[in-house]
Chain A
Amino acid sequence: MAATDTPAKDPAATTATAPAPRRTSGKGLRWLRRNLVTLAGLATLAYLVLPNVVVMVFSFNKPNGRFNYQWTRFSTDAWTDPCGVADMCGSLGLSLEIAVWATVGATVLGTMIAFALARYRFRARAAVNTLIFLPMAMPEVVMAASLATLFLNMGIQFGFWTILIAHIMFCLSFVVTAVKARVMSMDPRLEQAAQDLYATPVQTFLRVTLPIAAPGIAAGALLSFALSFDDFIITNFNAGSTVTFPMFVWGSAQRGTPVQINVIGTAMFLVAVLCVFAGQLAGNRRKRSKRS
């Protein structure tokens, strides 16, 4: 941004000749003004990261009593015994299982819809677009309550399957949006070229279309995994007595929060950061190998 800063500064310097004293006295002030946006951005970043730091620090706490809200003294007990709390790791496993299946379901169904929307003109296209948009524009509590009403009236037992159905439902739209954006921006001539070279439609799809759409599909899948794994509101209404990890955390806010929750939170944060780093490294390498 240095290049754009300099021409903008020039007029300021020429017009600022009148209030000369300010220039000498406010060197720090001027620096502050030039970097105000950066500082504000960094402050926001700190606000975003602060709870993660607190979660991390308090995973090494040895609390007095049932709640882990106050620092008492350092201990690595929770890290050496992460599954020492009854039912916690079970709920974690259940959440992971649901997230995996919800991701598979939503990604397959969503990718199909995205291709239909991006590639074909057909009647009811506007209606389909609205149906995709609405779940994202609806407060979760409304979707949660209405789906639970349906299950109740149908006499369907709440549990694993109702959670999975609900999760696929609300992850779908996000996958469609992510994949559609990617497919729309890709050059249709690439596929025509493949066809001209006598590739069958299946070959064209597997060798040309799918590799190009892959980043969009991956983004959609990653997003649905995160959304499903972390969802509380919709799960709370549609789980019955089944307890996922967010529901365990919710319950623990009333009964007592074990330190192990912070251990899991910290581990999730670290795994996420590592995954994103690895993804970016892979992306960079691919870019570099393409360039050479």
Chain B
Amino acid sequence: MTATATPAPPDEQTGDEALPIRRTPTRKRLVPYWLLLPGILWLVVFFAAPLVYQASTSLQTGSLEEGFKVTWHFATYWDALAEYWPQFVRSVGYAAIATVLCLLLGYPLAYLIAFKAGRWRNLVMILVIAPFFTSFLIRTLAWKTILADGGPVVGALNALHLLDVTSALGITEGHRVLATPLAVVCGLTYNFLPFMVLPLYTSLERIDPRLHEAAGDLYARPATTFRRVTFPLSMPGVVAGTLLTFIPAAGDYINAELLGSTDQKMIGNVIQSQFLRVLDYPTAAALSFILMAAILAMVTIYIRKSGTEDLV
């Protein structure tokens, strides 16, 4: 801070940035653009341009040997939809169920951290965040152990005859949980739960506890307080959490691969195998475009309906 001790005229200092800002309005106007340039360029080249590239790939025909050419072959879309619509429906279904489960499970936990944990808050927070730093593939593999055929979960469900009920509903098959829809949804719910808890916690924490007291003073029962005060105020967190859960869950293929069987394949599995194994790039591109369009459409409608556009 030697320079500030003597209020020397700034012009004498070397370097453009040392010039007083007010005297160089044009340069100041350019500052944000220089700040943006490298990062935005990165996103344009490696995020936006590839999407455009993929759009053109989805309209190509050809083979690996002869090369691919753009032939405006829109039929790829129809063929892909006709062949893989069950996987699309399944992806959306599983993701939706996992999102609802995440909300039901995550809300009490977020509430607990925000209002009831007290001096345990930090510890609980660590236990929510720490899984982020442990390889999630390893944790998903751990579910194989937990849900294993002879394992405790299957044993308990069998003892309660719950597996008969779930089998009748088509959620499980026979007397096992692994390689059934139940296992995949369980894995999805588990993997994306932190993405639900954190935004919920952020919006719950912003609520002034005095509002709860005020509601209590006005003779609102706890349930009424929750329904009329807490929940509406936590809506931004609910919207953010459901989006952060649903979108990655719909595109996920890890849970379906590790915890499911061929009957639980989701659209991510199809894209992955078309791209990396079958090497049918046009079909893979068309499938990812349909998935992207479907999700963008659903998200737009959802954000409109829930009326929190300040999210974006």
Cβ contact of A232, chosen from B113, B137, B212, B220, cutoff 8 A: B137
Asked whether, in the complex, the Cβ of B10 is within 8 Å of the Cβ of A200, the reply is: yes
Q: Using CB atoms, name the residue of chain A closest to B287.
A: A145
List residues of B (249-303) whose CB comes within 8 Å of A's CBs: 250-254, 258, 268, 271-272, 275-276, 281, 284-285, 288-289, 291-292, 295-296, 299
Asked whether, in the complex, the Cβ of A131 is within 8 Å of the Cβ of B276, the reply is: no
Q: Is B129 an interface residue (CB 8 A)?
A: yes
Asked if A54 meets B142 with Cβ closer than 8 Å, knowing A139-B295, A146-B285, the reply is: yes
Cβ contact of A134, chosen from B47, B131, B148, cutoff 8 A: B47
Cα distance, A140 to B252, chains bound together (Å): 8
The 0/1 profile, CB within 8 Å of A marked 1, for residues 130-158 of chain B is: 11111111111111111010100000000
Nearest-neighbour CB distance to chain A for B262, whole angstroms, equals 14
Cβ contact of A51, chosen from B7, B54, B142, cutoff 8 A: B142
> Residues of A at under 8 Å CB distance from B?
1, 3-4, 7-8, 11-12, 37-38, 40-45, 47-52, 54-55, 58, 69-70, 109-110, 112-113, 115-116, 119-120, 122, 128-135, 137-143, 145-150, 152-153, 165-166, 168-169, 172, 176, 197-203, 207, 226, 229-230, 232-233, 236-237, 245-246, 249-250, 253, 257, 261-262, 264-265, 268-269, 271-273, 275-277, 280
Asked if A137 meets B247 with Cβ closer than 8 Å, knowing A58-B142, A142-B291, A253-B141, the reply is: yes
List residues of B (217-260) whose CB comes within 8 Å of A's CBs: 217, 219-222, 225, 243, 247-248, 250-254, 258
Give the chain A neighbours of B219 by CB distance below 8 A: 11
Cα distance, A245 to B137, chains bound together (Å): 10
Q: Which of A148, A149, A165, A226 has the most CB of B within 10 A?
A: A149
Q: Which of A202, A253, A264 has the most CB of B within 10 A?
A: A253
Give the chain B neighbours of A7 by CB distance below 8 A: 213, 216-217
Asked whether, in the complex, the Cβ of A44 is within 8 Å of the Cβ of B193, the reply is: yes
Pair count A-B, CB < 8 A: 299
Asked if A172 meets B42 with Cβ closer than 8 Å, knowing A51-B146, A280-B122, the reply is: yes
Q: Is B49 an interface residue (CB 8 A)?
A: yes
> Residues of B at under 8 Å CB distance from A?
1, 3-4, 7, 10, 13, 15, 17-18, 21, 29, 31-33, 35-36, 38-40, 42-44, 46-51, 53-54, 57, 105-106, 108-113, 115-116, 118, 122, 124, 126-146, 148, 150, 190, 193-194, 197, 209, 212-213, 215-217, 219-222, 225, 243, 247-248, 250-254, 258, 268, 271-272, 275-276, 281, 284-285, 288-289, 291-292, 295-296, 299, 312
Asked if A166 meets B46 with Cβ closer than 8 Å, knowing A7-B217, A41-B108, A133-B312, the reply is: yes
Give the chain B neighbours of A198 by CB distance below 8 A: 4, 7
Asked whether, in the complex, the Cβ of A12 is within 8 Å of the Cβ of B221, the reply is: yes
Cα distance, A69 to B142, chains bound together (Å): 8
Q: Which of B112, B135, B145, B209 has the most CB of A within 10 A?
A: B135
Asked whether, in the complex, the Cβ of A55 is within 8 Å of the Cβ of B134, the reply is: yes
Asked whether, in the complex, the Cβ of A265 is within 8 Å of the Cβ of B131, the reply is: no
Asked whether, in the complex, the Cβ of A113 is within 8 Å of the Cβ of B142, the reply is: no
Give the chain B neighbours of A249 by CB distance below 8 A: 135, 137-138, 141
Asked whether, in the complex, the Cβ of A48 is within 8 Å of the Cβ of B295, the reply is: no
Cα distance, A207 to B48, chains bound together (Å): 36
Closest 8 CB pairs of A and B: A139-B251, A41-B112, A272-B133, A40-B108, A109-B39, A120-B32, A7-B216, A116-B35
Give the chain B neighbours of A250 by CB distance below 8 A: 137, 254
Give the chain B neighbours of A168 by CB distance below 8 A: 42, 46
Give the chain A neighbours of B32 by CB distance below 8 A: 116, 119-120, 122
